[in-house]
């Protein structure tokens, strides 16, 4: 299992703590240090719409110029933005065998998905 995110994100910290405290083995992938690839994002977008993968509630999105925000209109433009600004990706992304298990974190969702 892989957990994608950035280490200083409070939601990612909660997810990592939950996984550790519940003895769920995972590998952490830091977007800031390791980046993301176009092929990874394309795979994720086959599983989930770009509107869910782009975190439009976060500070990164809110700090973008309006022209940049309005340019994100489809999966291709969303990928380009996510490659340029990885912190705009909703996080954490929990992946098992290439499939998104969960996007974001709530204890209830993790309890249900990872008994």
Cβ atoms of 6 and 87 within 8 Å: the answer is yes
Of 3, 5, 6, 9, catalytic: 9
Q: In whole angstroms, give the CA distance from residue 14 to residue 9.
A: 9
> Is 102 considered catalytic here?
no
The sign one gets for the Cα dihedral 32, 7, 9, 36 is: positive
* Residues 6 or more apart in contact with residue 18 via CB below 8 angstroms: 24, 105, 107, 110
Cβ atoms of 37 and 66 within 8 Å: the answer is no
Q: Which residues are catalytic?
A: 9
């Amino acid at each position: 299992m892989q957990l994608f995110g950035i280490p200083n994100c409070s939601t990612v910290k909660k997810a990592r703590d939950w996984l550790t405290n519940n003895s769920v083995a995972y590998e952490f992938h830091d977007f800031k240090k390791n980046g993301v690839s176009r092929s990874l994002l394309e795979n994720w977008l086959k599983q989930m719409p770009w509107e869910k993968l782009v975190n439009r509630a976060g500070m990164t999105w809110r700090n973008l110029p309006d022209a940049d925000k309005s340019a994100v209109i489809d999966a291709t433009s969303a990928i380009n933005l996510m490659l340029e600004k990885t912190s705009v990706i909703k996080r954490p992304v929990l992946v098992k065998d290439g499939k998104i298990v969960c996007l974001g974190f709530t204890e209830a969702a993790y309890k249900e998905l990872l008994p």
